Chains A and B, each alone.
Chain A
């Protein structure tokens, strides 16, 4: 069974920088996994932030960026705002098996 792993929780100070990562049990994450990142706040559906590793949607704030880092997909928030406190999920595409797998989510606290 394919497992996608994220940090369960992270804490960052307002104005600071934090990087969330997304690892695959199958090995290094590459652009071929088309990493996506989503933000979810309590009581709301997820909101798309990043697609295809590093591409932003039209509504994605500039402080969010996606990359590949050390064999993982990464989401970096620079100049964190209090409203960035949320759960963040990555999604990877496994083309060979034709399935998509979410990571377990990272709860980001801004404190």
Chain B
């Protein structure tokens, strides 16, 4: 059974940093690209960042480019999102999602972790 479990969310002050983790199981982790998608409370989905199976290619939405860094540890089946210079508008549930073929076929999703940026 494919499972994705996010962690690391919490309350952080504007300008602060946070690192999210996503632990995967039930599939060969290194074979698949993974994306981070966020959703502000009561709002729509926003694609944030993606990474290839090898970790050699990374992609970012303009809204987070230069502030967020995606990475992965294939030996531990774990995806990361390092978030720096956080802003109030980064407040959201953050989901990790497995990409079936690498073109946005986000077939399995985690339950999400909530990041709140507030003073």
Contact = CB atoms under 8 A, between A and B. Distances in A.
A24 to B, nearest CB: 13
Most chain A CB within a 10 A radius of its CB, from B35, B101, B106 = B106
Contact of A36 (B44, B60, B95, B104): B104
B59 interface: yes
A67 to B, nearest CB: 17
Given A51-B100, A93-B104, A100 B50 contact: yes
Given A38-B45, A101-B47, A52 B105 contact: yes
Nearest to A105: B44
Nearest to A91: B104
A51 B105 contact: yes
Given A45-B95, A99-B61, A100-B35, A34 B105 contact: yes
Instruction: Give chain A's interface residue range (CB within 8 Å of chain B).
Output: 20 to 34
Contacts of B103: 34, 51-52, 93
A68 interface: no
Interface residues of B, number: 25
B45 to A, nearest CB: 4
Given A1-B62, A100-B50, A105 B104 contact: no
A46 interface: yes
A91 B44 CA distance: 12
B107 interface: yes
Nearest to B65: A99
A95 to B, nearest CB: 8
Interface in B71-97: 95, 97
Contacts of A99: 47, 59-62
Interface of B: 35, 37, 44-47, 50, 59-62, 95, 97, 100-101, 103-112
14 contacts: A34-B103, A34-B105, A36-B105, A36-B106, A38-B106, A40-B45, A45-B111, A46-B109, A48-B105, A52-B103, A91-B106, A102-B37, A102-B44, A102-B45
